[in-house]
Amino acid sequence: MCGIVGYIGSQNAADLIYEGLKRLEYRGYDSAGIAVLNDNKINLVRSVGKLKNLNEKLIRKPMPGVVGIGHTRWATHGEPSEKNAHPHLDCHDQIVIIHNGIVENYLELKTELINSGHTFRSETDSEVIVHLIEEAWQKRNQDSLISATGQALLRLEGAHAIIIQSVLVPDRILAVRIGNAGGIAIGKGENEMFLASDIPAILPHTRTIVFLESMEIAAIRQDGFSCYSLHGEPRSKEYFQIPWDPVSAARGHYSHFMQKEIYEQPLSLTDTLRNRLNLDHNEIVFKHFSFSMQELQKIQRIMIVACGTSYYAGLVGKYILESLSQIPVEVDYGSEFRYRNPLIGPETLVLALSQSGETVDTLAALEEAQKKKTPLAAIVNVPGSQISRICQGIIFMHAGPEIGVASTKAFTSTLVDLFLLGFYLGHQRGFLKPEMRKNLLQKLVRLPKIASDVLAKDAIYKELASQFYEASDFLFLGRGINYPIALEGAHKLKEISYIHAEGCPAGEMKHGINALIDRHLPVVAIATQEKLYQKMLSNIQQVKARDGIIIAIVSDDKGEVGQFADYCIEVPNLHPLLNPVLNIIPLQLLAYYVALKRGCDIDQPRNLAKSVTVE
């Protein structure tokens, strides 16, 4: 949600921070601000709306200085306004903070601070943080600002990422993480240091990164940093190298990040497979999936937890994992699982799916599972993210940075990773025999090339979009493994075009959905797989009998569906467990072109954020 950037070095901090915030625009925000320390004074600039408003102010009144912090805000407490935008100052303009998260006990703290004489200038919950630090500093004993801050912030309830700057320690920036309100990445440059909520913000400057853990405070200097627990015990931390390059986080010649990310799927899928296939022995190799053979044998059930698009990937994963590993799979939303006292124990592998690795509901679901002593695994895209740090078994997607709010390439990489995992478990547990493994891997290696063939039919998706972009509703139908693809197709369209869309298992139509069908309703029917082809055909006939408009996703040989469908999109038939990766591509592009025709803000759809770090 909110974005954080910080800089300490010898370059102009405001310029670097502004650039970093620009690279975080995809997270969604309604106001922004920057604070820079210069001549022992904190200078602030804040504005409502897009970052260009902030930039205009910076051009009118440049802010010199080499130490600064910046924030893009997504309003929770208090409307989007200049006074509510971060950074927030204390009463004496000596300390300034930016904050991600929600101070759950802010009313109680605010009353207490007002009674002690503090004056508040905003309606935000975040402002209590700076006054708490100020209060602790005023009442300090021998404490440094770092230990006073650590003590003060122990009083906050909720999850927080906080960056602090002060004239009291002009050569330091302090960073605090409490719980899971998104990450804080500290990046090391050449005698300069960077801070960010998300790696793409600082990727052009450094790939040497370390993340703060919960209940840690870091004091960042120009030449490095020191880390402590909030209680003051020193913590040692090690940098690691992020394998992403800055070009992968840039839009290049594409009009939108989402378009770029859809088109780079042949590449991202190749990267997902890279170094994982041993074709000589028909094996899958995982680097970070550190479960012993004995531990794998003990697994009796897999419980997938995820949110949004990752949840739909999980529903596809149920088919893949059950088929390849013969282990029963359940799938639940992180937000439901965490509150339902699930009946799980050490025999259940809890598998989180998350592009960002920071989604608060998915993290909370893992924490819930941890209490029940289940083994934890995850498929995650962002290296170093919180989810990747708490699980024993990690499969990184290697899809590269995904910037567009609507997830596309991370979805297809998750499906491929689920396939790899199913294969791995099926092999380790003795279910997948050599011939089956060989056959599966031969299909798998062809996937990226076939994905590029599907993308090459771009003109068809564009033409369809121009016919249906004014529709008020869409229906997506699928069966079996393609039912979740129907759900994800509807999800993509809703997210970026704001057209109401529903995904439905085709066999369920007669139980209610049929009432929606009329001559205005475009119905996207996924009719590719052989086994359920006849069933889909009869569902398509039922829609036609009610005058609905059929856009069918079919295999190369469209068969009888071709006679009933108004439009057919042909997708190659690779393997029933891999076809969903191909079938979603036309639906991603349909959503993209419909949203484009409707003039929507594709990379930053209204009311949505890339990383959902609040509940």
Binding-site member from 100, 335, 348, 354 for ligand F6R (CB under 6 A): 354
Instruction: Count the site residues for ligand F6R by CB under 6 A.
Output: 14
Binding-site member from 272, 407, 588, 604 for ligand F6R (CB under 6 A): 407
Query: How far apart (Å, rounded) are the C-alpha atoms in residues 505 and 500?
Result: 17
Active site residue 610: yes
Q: Does 197 bind ligand F6R (CB under 6 A)?
A: no
Q: Does 388 bind ligand F6R (CB under 6 A)?
A: no
How many other β-carbons are positioned within 10 Å of the β-carbon of residue 600? 18
- Geometric angle at alpha carbon 123, from 56 and 3, rounded to 5°: 50
How many other β-carbons are positioned within 10 Å of the β-carbon of residue 53? 15
Q: Does 307 bind ligand F6R (CB under 6 A)?
A: yes
Helices (H), 401-532: 409-428, 434-444, 447-455, 458-468, 483-497
Closest CA to 29 of 58, 6, 52: 52
Closest CA to 34 of 1, 62, 76, 75: 62
Binding-site member from 127, 332, 495, 603 for ligand F6R (CB under 6 A): 495
Select the span of 24-32, 351-359, 455-463, 546-554 touching ligand F6R (CB under 6 A).
351-359
- What is the closest distance, in whole angstroms, from the C-beta atom of residue 78 to ligand F6R in the complex? 24
Q: Does 314 bind ligand F6R (CB under 6 A)?
A: no
Q: Does 362 bind ligand F6R (CB under 6 A)?
A: yes
Residue 118 phi, psi dihedral angles, 5° rounding? -80, 145
Q: Which is nearer to ligand F6R, 148 or 203 (CB)?
A: 203
Q: Does 309 bind ligand F6R (CB under 6 A)?
A: yes
Catalytic residue among 188, 260, 494, 610: 610
- What is the closest distance, in whole angstroms, from the C-beta atom of residue 272 to ligand F6R in the complex? 15
Q: Does 447 bind ligand F6R (CB under 6 A)?
A: no
- Cβ-contact 169, 145 below 8 angstroms: yes
Select the span of 97-105, 401-409, 451-459, 502-510 touching ligand F6R (CB under 6 A).
401-409
Q: Does 603 bind ligand F6R (CB under 6 A)?
A: no
How many other β-carbons are positioned within 10 Å of the β-carbon of residue 11? 12
Query: How far apart (Å, rounded) are the C-alpha atoms in residues 90 and 148?
Result: 15
Using CB atoms within 10 A of its CB, is residue 515 exposed (0-12), middle (13-18) or buried (19+)? exposed
- What is the closest distance, in whole angstroms, from the C-beta atom of residue 431 to ligand F6R in the complex? 29
Q: Does 406 bind ligand F6R (CB under 6 A)?
A: yes
Q: Which is nearer to ligand F6R, 8 or 302 (CB)?
A: 302
Q: Which is nearer to ligand F6R, 97 or 390 (CB)?
A: 390
- Dump the DSSP string for 317-378: HHHHHHHHH---EEEEEHHHHTTS-----TTEEEEEEESSS--HHHHHHHHHHHHTT--EEE
Q: Does 489 bind ligand F6R (CB under 6 A)?
A: no
Q: Does 272 bind ligand F6R (CB under 6 A)?
A: no
Select the span of 93-101, 253-261, 276-284, 302-310 touching ligand F6R (CB under 6 A).
302-310
Catalytic residue among 2, 307, 504, 600: 2
Maximum distance among all Cα pairs of the chain, rounded to whole angstroms: 83
Closest CA to 334 of 310, 301, 356: 310
Query: How far apart (Å, rounded) are the C-alpha atoms in residues 597 and 603?
Result: 14
Active site residue 600: no
Helices (H), 209-282: 257-263, 265-273
Q: Does 310 bind ligand F6R (CB under 6 A)?
A: yes
Binding-site member from 87, 187, 308, 489 for ligand F6R (CB under 6 A): 308
Binding-site member from 359, 497, 528, 604 for ligand F6R (CB under 6 A): 359
Q: Does 356 bind ligand F6R (CB under 6 A)?
A: yes
Give the residue carrying structure tokens 């704001």.
Answer: 498
Binding-site member from 355, 497, 588, 604 for ligand F6R (CB under 6 A): 355
Residue 77 phi, psi dihedral angles, 5° rounding? -105, 110
Select the span of 143-151, 303-311, 567-575, 590-598 touching ligand F6R (CB under 6 A).
303-311
Catalytic residues: 2, 610
Binding site for ligand F6R (CB under 6 A): 307-310, 354-356, 359, 362, 405-407, 495, 612
